[in-house]
Structure 1
Amino acid sequence: MKTPVSLGRTPAPAGKPRRISILGATGSVGASTADVILGRPDAFIVEAVTAGTRARELAETAIRLKARIAVIADPNGYETLKAALAGTGIEAAAGEAAVIEAASRPVELVVAAIVGAAGLAPTIAAIDAGADIALANKECLVCAGAFFLSRAEAAGVHILPVDSEHNAIFQALEAENMPAVESITLTASGGPFRQAPIDAMRRATIAEALNHPRWSMGRKISIDSATMMNKGLEIIEAHFLFGLLSERLHVVVHPQSVVHGWISYADGSILAQLGAADMRIPIGHCLGWPKRYPATTKPFDLVSVGSLTFEKPDLERFPALSLARQALSGGNRATNVLNAANEVAVEAFLAGEIGFLDIAATVAETLDHMAAASGSVSIQSVGAALAIDAEGRRLARGVIDARRRLEAV
């Protein structure tokens, strides 16, 4: 079993500021990363920050972090970004190529927090440049896990998981006892529909689906939590990060979101990581690793929680978990299409085109279409991964359009 720690070189000696870049600096993970950095300003030098479309927010973040360059992926945001940075000495750039160039700048650590398959190319560029990766982008592994990790190993870099569940496993994993790992368990809050009847889920509004009971996240990730597709993607991610087969990767619903994950060892021991539902904790762990910096969050009082409960997930109401395992058994092409179809379906739900339960149904039908298609594409490059992603998006869009035509009859 291979772990992120086993990949690569020894980190730079502690004591000097760590130079970092943030890809996806205006999202929820990017904002939490900025909070961690500002809590220890002497520990970090920020080289580059990037964003997709939020030029003003990106400029504000760059100024707060004293970054050297800010890059907006959408070229239409360049003039806004440039004007907002005028007189600061911070360089402005725009376009996908500029994002990749920023990701390639020499730093010790890159926080990869671009949402979706769009994060794959910049993160690979950061790996090729020799930076360790604090990985908050599930899709890099879901879309191209074997290829992604082979590039990391070839470059001699570490992949440090930022997702709270995978970071929990990372912290609890005893490298010298890797062969003794029996199973890994990831926890899920259950989202806003944990106890909702299926009829209520069928009628769910966008606002209800976005109303997460524990975590503050972006819109796409919040919907993934409501469908539990996020946990399905995390099963795939854990498979690649920790080298376990699907049957040894478990999910339990834990509404309090205090226990983020645990490892069951062959001797009967269970090692778990506990903490507040605050992304600044796993981010701080990755930014300081292998050291532990003092927390920028207030102390967590476990006694005040009172009790911790655990439940089996309802696979009938949350079929996304089974779909993810089905895709994982089909290889990286299937997991790539799963992710692409889910992104398209979530966008369609947020646009009011389909209902909440139609998200998983769209993914399921797309996977069926993919299985029926002849031929396959081996993922040996970013281009191959993105070609499969495009195929999955086309199939998913076709499923949605066909369903809407039937409903209109």
Structure 2
Amino acid sequence: MRRLAPAERVNVWGSLPITVAVTDAAFGPDLRTALDAAERLNEADRLRLWQRLSESLTSESGDEVGQAHLLTERVAALDALTAEYERRGLVGSGRRLTARDFNEGCRATGSVWNATRVVRAWGRWRTALDVLHGARAHDRIGERAARLTTGFARRSRQDARQAIADWVATKPQALANHAYDTWAKERNASLSPEKLPYPGSSAVRSMLGTTTFAGAVRRAVAERDGDTPPKAAERTIEDYSLVLDGHRLVNRIGASLLLGWTEVAVRNATREGRFPVVALLGRASLYLAEDIERFGKGQSPKSVGDEFAGRVQTVENIAVLRGVSQQAISLGIQRSSPHYPQPQGKVGRAYWWDAKKTHEWFAEHPEYAARRKRRVRAA
């Protein structure tokens, strides 16, 4: 990795109204040779060269201004990453910068950058680091812009049903997830860059709210034929979320339903810092539903994380405050016992309590407070 000097905006193509951010150190031997050759071209050949470069970097989405802005953002993201690598002395060490370390460094230096902005530019944190270390991006500017603007909208039940319908129309020998994934991979390889790919079998399961791919196929066929699947069998956002102070918080499954992703993809995105964790339900992360929806539309999240830290309590917390076992709390909930604070609801299969209401209940019933609090197992 070369050390970059402060960027200057220069006109690379002479009389053409095109400017890019470059540095003296960025002019390696190959780039200098290419620029020298470009400067010797006539005006017509320069235009043809620029058209060819534009086509290799962008797609025919029609949004030239948006593509140019995204290209500028990608260059600036690499500059910000390079500056943090140099500040930490990681250049040439082989170590990869984490999103958390990058955010801490940007806050320390007063930079306007953060990991979320890098991910918006490059799609994934890992992709940005790969390109920084010399790899080549797999998608083009226009394709990435199309994902940001339409990716959230396409991840719906209708898209899952259409994918299943297209696959079933080929009369596969087995209605199995591996057979579908093989077909989807072959179809995606032949799609034009501006079209979004078919979802994988795991994403189809998440979009249709089933636990098995065979169940997703049956549900897609039933809905296509006009049959309504049982309401109890559907997974809804309300089943995997809670409302606190007028804000809806979703767990990993709820986030996967909102985005049409797999739960593993949501977990990886959390590790990469794409959207902040605002609270914990035991060991499970909770996200602001509005942040997830904004991310799906290519927008920045509003929260910064930990807004509701300590507000959501579990059976384990109530058992500690009450001085009894977790089994006793669960039994008290089933019997609606007045000797225990009743939960505000369930997120998935886990009961949850609002810490404020819990403290109010124990203030009204001090006789039920534990005399010796049990130690809570570290999260």
Instruction: Report which structure shows greater RCO (CA 8 Å, sep ≥6).
Output: 1
Q: Would the TM-score normalized by the shorter structure come out above 0.5?
A: no
Compare the two structures and name the one with the higher strand fraction.
1
Asked which structure has the greater CA Rg, the reply is: 2
TM range, smaller chain: under 0.3
